[in-house]
């Protein structure tokens, strides 16, 4: 039986997986999305304490 990580690796090697990785990389370069991620992480970190 394949582990979860094996399934994730197989997906990331697939054409659809590579396409989604590129999409995420493009979105990560967007300054607006970077700011949204910073705000989310800041809120998440403050709730954990």
- Cα distance from N-terminal residue to C-terminal residue, the chain: 38
Instruction: Find the domain containing 12 and state its range.
Output: 4-48
Question: Based on the structure, what is the number of domains in the chain?
Answer: 1
Alpha-carbon gap, residue 40 to 25, rounded angstroms: 18
What tens-digit pLDDT sequence spans the chain (49 residues)?
Answer: 689 999 999 999 999 999 999 999 999 999 999 999 999 999 999 987 6
pLDDT value of residue 44: 92
**DSSP conformational letter for 48:** H
pLDDT value of residue 2: 82
């Amino acid at each position: 039986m394949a582990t979860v990580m094996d399934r994730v690796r197989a997906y990331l090697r697939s054409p659809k997986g590579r396409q989604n990785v590129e999409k995420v990389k493009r979105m990560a370069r967007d300054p607006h999305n970077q700011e949204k991620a910073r705000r989310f992480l800041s809120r998440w970190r403050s709730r954990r304490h």
